[in-house]
Structure 1
Amino acid sequence: MTLTHLLPTLRLTMPDPLDRDSWPEFTTATTTDVVVAGVSLIRLAEWCGTPCVHTAAAVVPGTGGKPSDSELAAVVVLRVVGVTPRHGGGLDVRLDGELHLVAALTAQARLIGRASTIRDTQAHVGASVIDLPGDLRVGDLLAVPVRGVARLHDVDPRRRPAAEGETPLGYCGR
């Protein structure tokens, strides 16, 4: 449990800590953004729309962030398109993309684009239950790290090839 989890108002002045082994190389967090190898995920979503994918070298586990020479990791940025309170607590959340075809590390999912001072709640996203701020709303952006490569057509069903062997649209194909 982190300080920002215990006292969510701290998120206004300090970012939630990242598990360095779960994110791609050179990933840093601010109070409202995640930057991967120099690329702001908020800006990436502005440029490419959502869902979008950013891939970089994976981190060698236990090295404090040393990039791997051979392994890749990715981050998927998704937009919240629906939020419904659940009877008994928590939220049902719909996203503009899917995570079931990639090795998403949903425990590391984080809100980007704004800092929330509301305590986390259990957000039911498809088959996953993720701790996210209780004031999650339509239009919010989530960044989710992925082990290995995530292709855009894996997270965006609108971009899946119609037939096997077709080339998917580019990563910023608007």
Structure 2
Amino acid sequence: MTLTRMIPSLRRTLPDPLRTDFWPEATVTTVHDVMIAGVSLSHLADVCGTPCVHTGAAVIPGTAGRPSPTSVTSVLVTAITGIATHPSGALVITADAALDEHRVVWSELRLIRRVSTAHSGTVLIAGRSENPAVADLPLDLVIGDLLAAPTRPAAATMNGRRASRADEHSVPAWLAQLP
């Protein structure tokens, strides 16, 4: 458990740590963003729209960030498009990316662009399948918030920059039944 998880107000001054083995080389965090080789993911979303993908050299696991000469990894940036409450009390979010089409490293999913001092908890991420992904995120999420997460292997892109877009009019059957 990290300090920012135990004392969320520290997120104003202390970036949430990341596990470098899952992110592209030269990835660093700030209190409100993730930067990959100097590229701000928040700015990338501003320029390209969401969903978008940034791809870079993968890190060789266990080397504290040494880049792989042959492998790449991607980071998917997506915006929250819907929020509901599951009968268990957990938040359920939908995003503008078809998240279950990518192998997202859910343990590394993080809020960017906005600093949240709310406590974190279980958030279900709705996809097209009946088994939502589970992540640990601040519980004050709002529609429009940006999320970033690494994907393995590298995410497919359209037009060189966009990840697959979720059908905005399609709601999974299991999600439509929630209150």
| TM-score normalised by structure 2 residue count | 0.84
Q: State the 1:140 CA deviation.
A: 0.2
Q: Which residue is equivalent to 2:100?
A: 100
Residue deviations 1:118-137 (CA, integer Å, cap 9, x gap): 01121110220111100000
Distance 1:119 1:158, change over 3 A: closer
Q: CA RMSD in A?
A: 1.6
Partner Cα separation in structure 1 for residue 63 and residue 140 of structure 2 = 35
Q: Which residue is equivalent to 2:82?
A: 82
**Letter of the aligned partner of 2:98 in structure 1?**
E
Q: Which residue is equivalent to 1:128?
A: 133
Q: Which residue is equivalent to 1:24?
A: 24
Seq. identity, % = 45
Q: For residue 45 of structure 2, give the secondary structure of its aligned residue in structure 1.
A: helix
Kindly tell me the number of residue pairs found equivalent between the two proteins. 159
Work out which of the residue numbers 148, 158, 164 in structure 2 matches 1:156. Answer: 164
| TM-score normalised by structure 1 residue count | 0.87
Q: For residue 101 of structure 2, give the secondary structure of its aligned residue in structure 1.
A: coil
Partner Cα separation in structure 1 for residue 151 and residue 41 of structure 2 = 14
Q: State the 1:95 CA deviation.
A: 0.3
Is residue 102–residue 155 contact of structure 1 (8 Å, CA) maintained in 2? no
Q: Which residue is equivalent to 2:170?
A: none
Residue deviations 1:94-149 (CA, integer Å, cap 9, x gap): 10012222221011000001110001121110220111100000010000111221
Q: Which runs of 5+ in 2 are unaligned?
A: 127-131, 168-179
Q: Which residue is equivalent to 1:2?
A: 2
Partner Cα separation in structure 2 for residue 21 and residue 133 of structure 1 = 23
Partner Cα separation in structure 2 for residue 76 and residue 88 of structure 1 = 28
